Amino acid sequence: MIPLITGQVVAFWIFAPLSIAGALGMVIARKPVHSAISLAGMMVALGCLYASLDAPFLFVAQIIVYTGAIMMLFLFTMMIVGVDTTDSLIETLRGQRVAAAIFVFAFAAFIIVVAGNGIVTGAGGLETANAGGNVEGIAKIIFGTYVFAFELTAALLMVAALAAIVLAHGESLRKRETQAERARRKTLEFAETGKDPGPLPGPGVYARHNSIEYPALLPDGSIAEKSVSPTLAIRGVAVVENDGLRAAHRAAITEFVEVQDENTGSDEAPKVAEELADPGSVERTAIETTDGDPDTPKEQ
Partner 1 sequence: MSPNAYVVLSAILFSIGLLGFLIRRNVLIAFMSVELMLNSANLAMVAFSYANGTLLGQVGAFFVMVVAACEVVIGLAIIMIIFKTRRSASVDDQNQLKH
Which of the residues 69 through 88 are near partner 1 (CB under 8 A)? 69-70, 73-74, 77-78, 80-82, 85-88
The answer to whether residue 67 forms part of the interface with partner 1 (CB under 8 A) is: no
Q: Count Cβ atoms within 10 A of the Cβ of residue 59 and give its class: 0-12 exposed, 13-18 middle, 19 or more buried.
A: buried
User: First vs last Cα of the chain: how many Å apart?
Assistant: 78
Query: Which of 14, 60, 66, 202 touches partner 1 by CB under 8 A?
Result: 66
Query: Which of 2, 94, 122, 171 touches partner 1 by CB under 8 A?
Result: 122
Nearer residue to partner 1 within complex by CB, 18 or 205: 18
CB-based contact 77:83 (threshold 8 Å): no
Nearer residue to partner 1 within complex by CB, 275 or 293: 293
Phi, psi of 25 (to 5 degrees): -60, -35
Among 51-59, 177-185, 212-220, 282-290, which window interacts with partner 1 (CB under 8 A)?
A: 51-59
Mode of pairing for the β-strands spanning 223-224 and 239-241: unpaired
The answer to whether residue 130 forms part of the interface with partner 1 (CB under 8 A) is: yes
The answer to whether residue 281 forms part of the interface with partner 1 (CB under 8 A) is: no
The answer to whether residue 48 forms part of the interface with partner 1 (CB under 8 A) is: no
The secondary structure of residue 295, as a DSSP letter, is T
Instruction: Compose the 246-275 pattern: x for residues touching partner 1 by CB under 8 A, - for all others.
Output: ------------------------------
Which of the residues 143 through 202 are near partner 1 (CB under 8 A)? 146, 149, 153, 156-157, 159-161, 163-164, 167-168, 170
Q: How far is the CB of 23 from partner 1 (least distance, A)?
A: 4
Residue 144's contacts (CB-CB under 8 Å, 6 or more residues apart) are none
28 CA to centre of own chain = 19
Query: Which of 41, 44, 46, 257 touches partner 1 by CB under 8 A?
Result: 46
Q: Count Cβ atoms within 10 A of the Cβ of residue 288 and give its class: 0-12 exposed, 13-18 middle, 19 or more buried.
A: exposed
Q: From CA 145, how far away is CA 53, in angstroms rounded?
A: 23
Q: How far is the CB of 120 from partner 1 (least distance, A)?
A: 5
Q: From CA 290, how far away is CA 105, in angstroms rounded?
A: 54
Nearer residue to partner 1 within complex by CB, 143 or 256: 143
List the one residue out of 89, 90, 43, 45 whose CA is nearest residue 68.
43
The answer to whether residue 234 forms part of the interface with partner 1 (CB under 8 A) is: no
Nearer residue to partner 1 within complex by CB, 96 or 281: 96
Which of the residues 26 through 45 are near partner 1 (CB under 8 A)? 26-27, 32, 35-36, 39, 42-43
Which of the residues 86 through 115 are near partner 1 (CB under 8 A)? 86-88, 90, 92, 96-97, 100-101, 103-104, 107-108, 111-112, 114-115
Q: From CA 19, how far away is CA 15, in angstroms rounded?
A: 6
User: How many chain residues interact with partner 1 (CB under 8 A)?
Assistant: 88
Distances 62 to 15, 49, 88, 125 between C-alpha atoms, Å: 15, 11, 33, 21
3-class DSSP state for residue 217?
strand
Q: From CA 34, how far away is CA 28, in angstroms rounded?
A: 9
Q: How far is the CB of 235 from partner 1 (least distance, A)?
A: 18
